[in-house]
Amino acid sequence: MQSAGTRRTMKPRFSALLTTLVVLSASGCGGDDPTGVAATVADMLGSWTITALTFTSVPPGDSEELISQGFSGEVEFRSDLTYTLSTTDPQQVVEVDNGTFSVSGSTLTLTLPGDVTNLTIQELTSTAATLYSADDSFDFNGDDQDTPATVTVRLAKQ
């Protein structure tokens, strides 16, 4: 993906997401991970808009917030335990991923063929959610080389 004349690779490990989403795995990766809140499948059902998608390098130093750069995304979690993640980059290139999901305690697991992503549910209300992964990567300088990163995804329920 292009951003300000440099190539940006959006790899939210949440099955595409977030990025990765997310992407985009969090639980059990170390003592510095934020704690999560318990959730159920029913809590996640519905359509959500990605309102923030932030990658932070490990160790911290670089940070990129993609929504403010023109990226957008939506995810729909359905009662048959499938989801669709649609993301659009600043050049209006749309990517759509379809997979399955599950919720166990504070972990949201997104599965695509050959890719499983675990996200910690940090915050959850009837209208908003914050997801986090400590085990992601991102190309911070446009050199097509990903750097280890964390990712935080904020969602608003539609």
Phi and psi torsions of 100, nearest 5° = -115, 160
CA dist 46 and 71 (Å) reads: 21
Within 8 A by CB and 6+ apart from 58, the residues are 134, 147, 148, 149, 150
What confidence category does residue 115 fall into, taking pLDDT thresholds of 50, 70 and 90? Answer: very high
Question: Which amino acid type is present at position 100?
Answer: T
| CATH number for position 100 | 2.40.128.280
Q: Per residue in 18-77, pLDDT tens?
A: 433 433 323 333 334 457 999 999 999 999 999 999 999 999 899 999 999 999 999 999
**Residue 34: what pLDDT?**
59
Q: How far apart are CA 155 and CA 125, in angstroms?
A: 10
Q: Which of 142, 132, 129, 106 is nearest to 21 (CA)?
A: 132
Question: Would you state the pLDDT for residue 35?
Answer: 78
Count other Cβ atoms within 10 Å, centred on residue 122. Answer: 19
Matching residue, tokens 């972990």: 107
> What pLDDT, in 10s, does the model give residues 98-107?
999 999 999 9
Query: How many structural domains does the chain have?
Result: 1
Domain span holding position 46: 2-157
Q: Is 76 exposed, middle or buried (0-12, 13-18, 19+ CB in 10 A)?
A: middle
Distances in Å between the Cα of 109 and the Cα atoms of 61, 121, 126, 149 are 28, 10, 19, 19
